[in-house]
Structure 1
């Protein structure tokens, strides 16, 4: 932008802000206007080791020097340091990774780099930049017809994908999903590329937090395994918006320390930040401010919180713009890729004057030079506010960011305390690489991609080793026959994992035409989409006709009624494990593993206009339960007594404290309040008094409460400030009420909550006494515990067997086809039956005319052992006797195998691998022998089967596993706990 153009823009922005503040309508709504003066840049010369061809190319782009942080980054990367750069927008981050990568390619044409972007639009941006470099550097490449870069994502055709695989370019631009689904499962197809991979670039690192970040950390661990296979050790270059913990996030993501660079040398133009608390709705106010900006020729972006609001503001604004109407566009998810790219191109080239977008344009997509940013509602974090605000003023002109508050706790808190926003540090971004569910999913993928060796197993952290042991015990991984390697149970487990979601998704379907409206995850569906619920989707109202959990469908119809619905739920929290504890003067706080149980017991119908209760409808829905990580505050009895002495409602106090703590989580940590759950208990059976629990709302935890535990004092202080600064009398959504409360925000006592936070934080209190947790006794949970599973591998061997047991098998006279199907086993008849009797230590053979003696013999045993005897042999015998054979304690080895593996294995398959012994014949041969009258041959065959079954049981009791050959032809272990089955059967 030329100097004269800059001056004109600065004048226009200043005039716009002046008119806004002087306006009789909007002036009084402005609660804060903060100005940031322009800053000069700090520059550095091109590094001496930067290829001259590359410096010539930069000069052709009008770049004659670098910002000093770019030069420092180049030096660190050149030394092989793994680097994370966390600087503001418009600080030239793309140059930080492109320069060292291109410099290396110019000296070594075999060098390869892998670029990751979370959005396709970002990938397209960087591809265009690299195409410009390729055009300038064409003659400098060492190989003829060299291809510098290519995009490999969901929009890449199958033909083009094959072409890229067969002849990989210097740089492949992709996303985490493609690495997970296309690169790692088929790594042999990428062997040459991986072998020469020298740089891995991960942009927008701050987006890899929570569930997505936890998945990404494991995808990168899997990538590192494959790279070790091919002898590669690339340098990592990570780029992030400004966050509170860049080094910590980088290390959690790639599994090793990173050097951080957080100071930017880029110049910055004058910036304005206005907070405006609208009298009208924030959306209508945004439309009016947008209209005024566009008519002044100011290029403007409006950020909204939903697709529907994006379309509504566009619809309201366009008719008022006259000839400018075509220069305004909306931009959101749901547009076709070509539509989004067309809008991006129009913005970049200046064909559009304004755009209204969801967060889809928050990340670093090149959308040209903008002047005004209007935020419809607080984006949820200081980081996101500056990230979106950083889209304006990128050409060196004065710019303005206008935050329009909505009616919620965070927005209204900052309207009352604007200085707090400007003095507040950036939030921390957290993930949990040891989330058990996510870890199990990716360990399964890792084993499918490359067998896990015992050497690798010993190098894993304790949490990973324990998880592998648990997965092995549960047959989610199969251990090799010698116990020195682990295999996957499925060929392509990657296809079952959604990196960007926490749970299973249910489709929302219109009843009248079958149209799929969207999706909802299984964790929310019973609260929001139970039968009878009124569900809001894209600002349209729908009535839930049916919630089909089995088929993963929610069927809805259009709704025009006058009421909305609110779920009623009951919740319980159980402490499974305490990780760590801290004591403070007024309270104790613990961090640990929790079991959360919640059941929706009914719902309320409430009038839309008055919120008056119309009816309460009971529901009979299944309980939802999951394990997660949480923290809990223990409230001293003296504090409870003091509140009750002041005639304040104690339950109302801790309930309000729970709500407000959850609502203020986003002040400290990058998250949404829906990522957090909680429960308040005036008495909890595992603590000695009252407790307030707050937990991660995803199975296994995503690191939020772990970070909050370390910052519990900050969280409680912010909680107190939020309550104290709210002007309401008894509580409102801006302070102590929660829109997700299962008990309808009752009881709630705002005054009691404020006094409670003051008591908790009072430094003069006697230090909170350490308390001992009651012992948790829950056999069902203990059996599934990782540590217990590991200990059970020691086994007790033969001691579990009773003194008198029998091993039993029989052969039939007729096949299933001959009697009309397997369900008619009682018609198949007995040719021969054989029992091994432990007291006799011998085999006893019975023919059909001796069935009564056979049955009497079976009822003498304390335990019967067989292979499919409960389902088949007993059914055959039912044709001869009415006595209940299923009432005898039974160890059915086929049942054990199927329960562990999920499918059946033949006795012969198990015997060959486990015992090195084969069956002497098969069932079909036995039927032929019967027709030929060869009863002796059937007897010997049946006796051999009984001996194999007995020896297989002995092996399983002593070793706690069987061996079998999986579909890949590998001999693997199948863990079995025959001891527990026997004890349970004989109980």
Structure 2
């Protein structure tokens, strides 16, 4: 018997079920809300009103009208309202209005997923199809699936609106902006959809991409209005401003209607996946259109497989949906779901965003999605047409899942998290500065480079030879012509390729930061449900080789970590103790791994590893634990180290309550005595080099973090600790030692002391002592004192490299003449082959010997004439200094012509011919000229601090020198 699509009956049956009813720990009804409409300050033109009428829209919601009015006046706007509140109309109407006013106007729509771009192009094209006046307007997708022919046509004849994604903006549009001049010079509006997804490491990258994009727009005389669309986050305007550097006005009060929704929390007796399958079967039986959200690709496939095998006649009406499917497969699933052919889809976060999949009745969340934002974003997929709907959260073992199972009202009433980024991450800054300089030379006083953090990054790049300063000192050029492909917008550094050792087939990739922990030799690696063992981790080549294997165990890495405080940003007092946030240096040393049996409690094996330490700088916060708390804990016969270790794990587990992140994006260290702090401390830090702004944001809510950490530990029913409170799945010491009771005692002691009357703290931790500032690159240090007496050497030979069997036999070439300039005498001294001992004697009296390729050539030639180690002499080889900076060689003639505007009069081949002709004086004169040029280059560099050369783009740029 079928009951029809009645979600209310489904919820009543669930609560009354003998099998499932006891697992329902909370149920509430979110009331329906009527629509709130408003009129525009200036009515829409007739063609646009006809488009709305044809779509059944007679009035705009209040937030739509407010945002459109702001965009019309040129204000940058972020609209942060719930799913299905009509945000796409907010940007489509002003764009179409601009096209009506000027058919040449252009707009750029940026989406984090290809599927979103395709979905929005369909919406945009449908709007154009309802207007005779706008039927000539055009829109096109420009992404990785666009053919080369269509890409070229789009560049040459750009449509009114281009639908693309971050990678294409970074890799195609910005580096080849000259080809987009027609589009960029007419761009009026830029739409950034789902802007809340640009957070953490990707958001930090995008902050630089958007700054580069604005810079290129300015170059073409454009100043577009930016329109941001976002889920409901705590800080939409702050996020948009951090991403672009613009002043952005938020619109957050939604006028869209909302149907009644049931919110149900289920704490399962068996696993959450099995419970979700039972709930899905009951929904299919009632023909309720359902979306199931799983937390991983693997779980998505498994639930779909299990559900399909048990769904009987409904098996063909269930489908998984995840990243990794082919584009045509995803389009087919979206279409079947929208048309009602599919009753249920099991998805990862891939369907969390605003792809149109029709009206759904039930949302099953298999595990807490990780953030309040994602919870309501996913739940917003149901009841889009105003019908009654339901959201069911099936709790998992994770700390946050269990926290909300025990405190359900916290989820309902808690404010959405803040989306945070770190635009000043130095590693990311450097990569994008190189890209910006490759797009257009950087002017030292332009906006993109006027912050101290950016200037420091630019100085570091210049010191490393990656940015080259122009001869006049005003501009910076990129050494690389196309550095863009070296930048991964979703990562921080290099990536390791994972390949099958037997077949050579590609099995994915992993970032270098995670490779040591997840793909070390001996690690069990799972790919698409198949099990492999890691054979080798080739750090230099960036390759992980794996082999298929059937094993009855899994591996867990063991590691040791230390941290050094480099800089303190802020400090505060919370619960009677001092809390800091600042810059840290973390040393992470993987020491081995454990083998754990999959079934049973067999003895674990520990295998040592010899891997280099990973050392990186990041941002973090740390909580000091005063000595008196430690003494009191030990007096109670509790394990203090186990206690602060448990506090660290619990704090990391509960951290995503405060900011939009995953616990895997964080790291932690707890120590009973930190040498810089002077007492015990618990550190939580951003787990990516340079930091993502997570700990800095959480620092502002330290009291909330401590309260939630204590609440999580106290409310958990376990006796000694479990994954729901103080155990971490990625602990480098295997969750040893851990003392849940000590953690609770430590936090309650701090809380009680803070609540009592103010008393002098028995041992107030001192402000951490910081290391001396790191030395800057040698090229930017103060130059060494000039030598009192220096010499400049050059040698011409009797034989060529070919005549003696190669350059490595330079000792057999013989000496036709040698010239040494002595600054003490301010004159040139000439030597023939039989006078080399006299030359050597004079060289030994100098404070510095200078030459051009002197170490690899001149000294080798001389060793064929005298038994002396010339490398013992203090030597400056200008060619080696140039190569060390640039990575490649330049000729003496090139440096002389650009730096000194002087040309050489001959070359080595001519000198060899002169020797055979007996023209010794000509050789000496030529050799003296080379010595004079080398001397003048040295003196120029010593006075100016740089030499000049012409790069491959024919720009005259500097080579910093420190002699």
Pairwise TM-score range, normalised by the shorter structure: over 0.9
Poorly superposed stretches of 4+, deviation over 6 Å: none
Q: Are 1:516 and 2:506 matched, yes or no? A: yes
The alpha carbon displacement at 1:166 in A equals: 1.4
Matched ranges for 1:331-480 at <5 A = 331-456=321-446, 460-480=450-470
**Conserved 8 A contact 1:586-1:636:** no
**Conserved 8 A contact 2:819-2:831:** yes
Q: Are 1:774 and 2:769 matched, yes or no? A: yes
Give the alignment partner of residue 61 of structure 2, picking from 60, 64, 67. Answer: 67
User: Could you give the per-residue CA deviations for residues 455-485 of structure 1, whole angstroms, max 9, x where no partner exists?
Assistant: 3169722222222222222222111111111
Give the alignment partner of residue 222 of structure 1, picking from 212, 221, 231. Answer: 212
The alpha carbon displacement at 1:888 in A equals: 2.0
Q: Are 1:832 and 2:826 matched, yes or no? A: no
**Conserved 8 A contact 1:675-1:698:** yes
Give the alignment partner of residue 603 of structure 1, picking from 584, 593, 609. Answer: 593
The alpha carbon displacement at 1:46 in A equals: 5.9
Matched ranges for 1:549-588 at <5 A = 549-584=539-574, 586-588=576-578
Give the alignment partner of residue 125 of structure 1, picking from 119, 122, 125. Answer: 119
- Greater shift, 632-641 or 88-97, is seen at 632-641
Q: Are 1:92 and 2:86 matched, yes or no? A: yes
The alpha carbon displacement at 1:368 in A equals: 0.8
The alpha carbon displacement at 1:610 in A equals: 3.5
Q: Distance in 1 between matches of 2:601 and 2:519?
A: 20
Say what the alpha-carbon RMSD is for the aligned residues: 1.9
The alpha carbon displacement at 1:251 in A equals: 0.8
Q: Are 1:116 and 2:106 matched, yes or no? A: no
Q: 1:759 to 1:875 in 2, by over 3 A?
A: farther
Give the alignment partner of residue 182 of structure 1, picking from 141, 162, 172. Answer: 172
Counterpart of 2:666 in structure 1 is 676
SS in 2 for 1:800: coil
Q: 1:674 to 1:582 in 2, by over 3 A?
A: same
**Conserved 8 A contact 1:806-1:838:** yes
**Conserved 8 A contact 1:458-1:465:** no
Counterpart of 2:896 in structure 1 is 911
**Conserved 8 A contact 1:585-1:767:** no
Give the alignment partner of residue 287 of structure 1, picking from 277, 286, 296. Answer: 277
The alpha carbon displacement at 1:706 in A equals: 1.1
**Conserved 8 A contact 2:779-2:962:** no
Give the alignment partner of residue 76 of structure 1, picking from 70, 91, 103. Answer: 70
Q: 1:611 to 1:876 in 2, by over 3 A?
A: farther
Give the alignment partner of residue 934 of structure 1, picking from 905, 919, 922. Answer: 919
Counterpart of 1:821 in structure 2 is 806
Q: Distance in 1 between matches of 2:51 and 2:471?
A: 59
- TM-score for the superposition, normalised by structure 2: 0.96
Counterpart of 1:51 in structure 2 is 45
Q: Distance in 1 between matches of 2:779 and 2:452?
A: 15
The alpha carbon displacement at 1:820 in A equals: 2.1
| Number of aligned residue pairs | 957
Q: Are 1:925 and 2:910 matched, yes or no? A: yes
Counterpart of 1:488 in structure 2 is 478
Counterpart of 2:535 in structure 1 is 545
Q: Distance in 2 between matches of 1:368 and 1:922?
A: 77
Q: Distance in 2 between matches of 1:858 and 1:728?
A: 79
The alpha carbon displacement at 1:920 in A equals: 2.1
Q: 1:538 to 1:712 in 2, by over 3 A?
A: farther
**Conserved 8 A contact 2:103-2:137:** no
Matched ranges for 1:447-846 at <5 A = 447-456=437-446, 460-584=450-574, 586-761=576-751, 762-763=753-754, 764=756, 766=759, 769=764, 771-777=766-772, 781-784=774-777, 792=781, 795-796=782-783, 800-846=785-831
Matched ranges for 1:172-321 at <5 A = 172-321=162-311
Q: Distance in 2 between matches of 1:770 and 1:324?
A: 65
- Greater shift, 383-392 or 823-832, is seen at 823-832
User: Could you give the per-residue CA deviations for residues 236-265 of structure 1, whole angstroms, max 9, x where no partner exists?
Assistant: 110100111111111101112211111111
- Greater shift, 561-570 or 118-127, is seen at 561-570
SS in 1 for 2:65: helix
The alpha carbon displacement at 1:602 in A equals: 1.6
The alpha carbon displacement at 1:566 in A equals: 1.8
User: Could you give the per-residue CA deviations for residues 395-414 of structure 1, whole angstroms, max 9, x where no partner exists?
Assistant: 22111111111111111111
Give the alignment partner of residue 893 of structure 1, picking from 851, 856, 878. Answer: 878
The alpha carbon displacement at 1:684 in A equals: 2.0
SS in 1 for 2:684: strand
The alpha carbon displacement at 1:789 in A equals: 7.6
Counterpart of 1:29 in structure 2 is 23
User: Could you give the per-residue CA deviations for residues 153-208 of structure 1, whole angstroms, max 9, x where no partner exists?
Assistant: 11111111111111111111111111111111111211121111111110001000
SS in 1 for 2:776: helix
Q: Are 1:39 and 2:53 matched, yes or no? A: no
SS in 1 for 2:652: helix
User: Could you give the per-residue CA deviations for residues 716-761 of structure 1, whole angstroms, max 9, x where no partner exists?
Assistant: 1111111111111111111111111111211222111112222333
**Conserved 8 A contact 1:470-1:789:** no
- TM-score for the superposition, normalised by structure 1: 0.94
**Conserved 8 A contact 2:779-2:960:** no
Give the alignment partner of residue 133 of structure 2, picking from 140, 157, 181. Answer: 140
Q: Distance in 2 between matches of 1:434 and 1:154?
A: 29
Q: Distance in 1 between matches of 2:432 and 2:468?
A: 15
Counterpart of 1:982 in structure 2 is none
Q: Distance in 1 between matches of 2:7 and 2:950?
A: 73
SS in 2 for 1:874: helix
Q: Distance in 2 between matches of 1:277 and 1:584?
A: 33
Q: Distance in 1 between matches of 2:601 and 2:446?
A: 60
- Greater shift, 276-285 or 200-209, is seen at 276-285
Q: 1:361 to 1:767 in 2, by over 3 A?
A: farther
**Conserved 8 A contact 1:327-1:352:** yes
The alpha carbon displacement at 1:322 in A equals: 3.1
The alpha carbon displacement at 1:50 in A equals: 0.8
User: Could you give the per-residue CA deviations for residues 524-548 of structure 1, whole angstroms, max 9, x where no partner exists?
Assistant: 1111111111223344332111111
The alpha carbon displacement at 1:817 in A equals: 2.2
SS in 2 for 1:38: coil
Q: Distance in 2 between matches of 1:520 and 1:173?
A: 29
- Greater shift, 617-626 or 208-217, is seen at 617-626
Q: Are 1:876 and 2:861 matched, yes or no? A: yes
The alpha carbon displacement at 1:838 in A equals: 2.6
The alpha carbon displacement at 1:875 in A equals: 2.1
Give the alignment partner of residue 837 of structure 2, picking from 825, 840, 852. Answer: 852
**Conserved 8 A contact 1:897-1:905:** yes
Counterpart of 1:983 in structure 2 is none
The alpha carbon displacement at 1:669 in A equals: 0.4
Q: 1:167 to 1:620 in 2, by over 3 A?
A: same
**Conserved 8 A contact 1:583-1:770:** no
The alpha carbon displacement at 1:99 in A equals: 0.9
Give the alignment partner of residue 964 of structure 1, picking from 943, 949, 960. Answer: 949
